């Protein structure tokens, strides 16, 4: 390992997760992989290539800059959708490259119509409906103007999609709100049909909604977190394992994060370890210094609290997490050496540091911890 740490992406796990997701949907429903946020921290190029190798041909990103990176990798016939931020200056490129994009304001709709007109090629747009999340999308009051604008612009735009997003389907406490959103979306689809505006694909579900509201799958599901091998919430993990006791967790973590021992030190009893006075050695101890700190995404809140695996043993982090390193208690290990593998997230023998345990200890969500892993850590697929 040349770098201080390395992220490995496990292809067998990804293949397992893809087939789990495919089992949840009808054969005709398209699986669109959500790879925004640097593919949830997994490394967008590496992860997209793995998805392509495993037969996934539909991708969703947040912004035009992510789309440019993914588009370079896609063979003809793939679908790429920008769900969020898009500057007017990027519209000609999207249209030229057949990159599809969400439209959730009149401003963007008018821009798309104008640029399509100028370029002589149809923009491939997805109209997003506001159904009760209050983030982005056209609401009821916009409907008459929206429908008439779309109707009059038929020759300039291709209605690639009609979509919405649920506000927290992973938590049962949001049940009523999600039901209302589902009903609102169904009503919105009917309005489009009445106007004879027929979208190529209707879509609404993220991972949690795909699992919980199958009647809302429509033509395409936008799945992120499940593909990476994580449940959208602890509640859903428990729900699944209760309903499927023979296979309580069908998902496999794709990511593995490891480092190595940089230095080893003996510490006499009574000494403070690291900065300040946050940990005192009560007996003679041996510590290993690992070259990973908060600058590399190892949260400072894991000071005196995190755990790593070395030689199959779960060992505690001692003292404060520094910018570039942590100290770990290796007093137990007799033959530890500089260069030994240190597992930060992953398995050694029968021991595991899961992302969930890691993120619970650092009080971060799975999503947050993953996307904060710095881009500079090399991502390697195997
Ligand atoms: C609009 C939209 N669709 C789909 C997803 C995928 O969500 P998940 O990772 O929970 O499957 C997201 C992620 O936040 C999103 O913003």
- Both 87 and 33 in one domain: the answer is yes
Residue 296 and residue 377: Cα distance in Å, rounded?
8
Which ligand 1 atom is at minimum distance from the Cα of 228? 9
First vs last C-alpha separation in the chain: 15
For residue 313, the cross-strand partners are 310
> 190 CA distance to ligand 1 centroid (A)?
24
Residue 358: pLDDT above 90?
A: no
Q: Which domain holds residue 176?
A: 11-243
Number of independent structural domains in the chain: 2
Residue 86: pLDDT above 80?
A: yes
> 208 CA distance to ligand 1 centroid (A)?
9
Residue 143 and residue 188: Cα distance in Å, rounded?
8
pLDDT in tens, 195-207: 999 999 999 999 9
pLDDT confidence bin for 355, thresholds 50/70/90: confident
**Model pLDDT, residue 329:** 98
Query: Mean pLDDT, to the nearest integer, of 172-179?
Result: 95
Residue with tokens 């597992």: 343
What is the reported pTM? 0.94
Of 57, 110, 108, 56, the closest CA to residue 87 belongs to: 108
Report the percent of the chain where pLDDT is more than 70: 100
- 206 close to ligand 1 (CB < 6 Angstrom): yes
| Residue 344 near residue 350, CB atoms below 8 Å | no
Largest CA distance in the chain: 80
> Which residue has its alpha carbon closest to ligand 1 atom 12?
206
pLDDT in tens, 217-257: 999 999 999 999 999 999 999 999 999 999 999 999 999 99
Across the chain, mean pLDDT equals 95
- Both 239 and 260 in one domain: the answer is no
Query: Mean pLDDT, to the nearest integer, of 294-316?
Result: 95
- Both 222 and 99 in one domain: the answer is yes
pLDDT confidence bin for 382, thresholds 50/70/90: confident
- Both 132 and 217 in one domain: the answer is yes
pLDDT confidence bin for 359, thresholds 50/70/90: confident
> 58 CA distance to ligand 1 centroid (A)?
14
Residue 98: pLDDT above 90?
A: yes
- 223 close to ligand 1 (CB < 6 Angstrom): yes
Specify if 1 maps to a domain. Answer: no
Query: Mean pLDDT, to the nearest integer, of 133-153?
Result: 96
Kindly list the catalytic residues. 36, 275
3-state secondary structure at position 201: strand
User: What letter does residue 280 receive in the DSSP assignment?
Assistant: B
pLDDT confidence bin for 361, thresholds 50/70/90: confident
- Both 231 and 293 in one domain: the answer is no
Beta strands in 66-156 (DSSP E): 79-82, 100-103, 123-128
Specify if 50 maps to a domain. Answer: yes
- Both 266 and 221 in one domain: the answer is no
pLDDT in tens, 270-289: 999 999 999 999 999 999 99
Residue 36 and residue 26: Cα distance in Å, rounded?
25
Which ligand 1 atom is at minimum distance from the Cα of 225? 9
- 207 close to ligand 1 (CB < 6 Angstrom): yes
- 225 close to ligand 1 (CB < 6 Angstrom): yes
- Both 211 and 103 in one domain: the answer is yes
> Which residue has its alpha carbon closest to ligand 1 atom 8?
224
- Both 192 and 327 in one domain: the answer is no
Q: Which CB contacts under 8 angstroms, 24+ apart, belong to 138-141?
A: 138/104, 138/105, 140/184
Which ligand 1 atom is at minimum distance from the Cα of 207? 11
- Both 149 and 112 in one domain: the answer is yes
- 224 close to ligand 1 (CB < 6 Angstrom): yes
Which ligand 1 atom is at minimum distance from the Cα of 170? 10
- Both 39 and 185 in one domain: the answer is yes
Residue 173 and residue 374: Cα distance in Å, rounded?
33
**The domain spanning residue 349 has which CATH number?**
2.40.37.10
Residue 27 and residue 52: Cα distance in Å, rounded?
18
pLDDT in tens, 298-308: 999 999 999 99
- Both 144 and 289 in one domain: the answer is no
């Amino acid at each position: 390992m040349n770098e201080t740490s390395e992220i490995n992406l496990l292809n067998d796990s990804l293949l397992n997760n893809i087939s789990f997701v495919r089992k949840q949907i009808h054969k005709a429903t398209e699986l669109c992989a959500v790879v925004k946020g640097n593919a949830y921290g997994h490394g967008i190029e590496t992860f997209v290539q793995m998805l392509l190798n495993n037969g996934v041909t539909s991708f969703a990103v947040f912004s035009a800059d992510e789309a440019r990176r993914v588009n370079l990798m896609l063979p003809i016939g793939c679908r790429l959708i920008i769900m969020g931020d898009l500057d007017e200056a990027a519209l000609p490129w999207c249209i030229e490259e057949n990159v599809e994009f969400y439209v959730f304001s009149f401003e963007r709709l008018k821009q798309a119509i104008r640029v399509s007109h100028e370029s002589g090629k149809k923009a491939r747009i997805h109209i997003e409906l506001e159904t009760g999340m209050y983030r982005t999308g056209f609401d009821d009051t916009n409907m008459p103007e929206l429908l008439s604008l779309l109707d009059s612009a038929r020759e300039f735009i291709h209605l690639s999609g009609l979509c919405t997003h649920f506000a927290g389907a992973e938590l049962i406490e949001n049940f009523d709100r999600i039901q209302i959103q589902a009903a609102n979306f169904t009503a919105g689809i009917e309005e489009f049909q009445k106007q004879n505006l027929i979208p190529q694909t209707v879509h609404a579900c993220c991972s949690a909604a795909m699992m919980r509201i199958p009647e809302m799958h429509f033509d395409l599901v936008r799945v992120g977190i499940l593909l990476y091998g994580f449940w959208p919430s602890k509640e859903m993990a428990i729900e699944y394992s209760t309903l499927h006791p023979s296979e309580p967790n069908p998902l496999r973590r794709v990511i593995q994060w490891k480092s190595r021992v940089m230095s080893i030190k003996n510490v006499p009893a009574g000494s403070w370890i690291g900065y300040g006075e946050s940990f005192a050695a009560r007996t003679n101890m041996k510590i290993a210094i690992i070259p990973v700190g908060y600058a590399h995404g190892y949260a400072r809140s894991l000071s005196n609290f995190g755990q790593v695996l070395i030689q199959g043993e779960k060992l505690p982090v001692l003292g404060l997490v520094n910018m570039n390193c942590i100290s770990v208690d290796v007093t137990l290990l007799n033959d530890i050496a500089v260069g030994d593998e240190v597992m930060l997230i992953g398995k050694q023998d029968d021991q595991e540091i899961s992302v969930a345990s890691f993120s619970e200890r650092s009080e971060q969500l799975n999503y947050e911890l993953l996307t904060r892993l710095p881009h500079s850590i090399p991502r390697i697929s195997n």
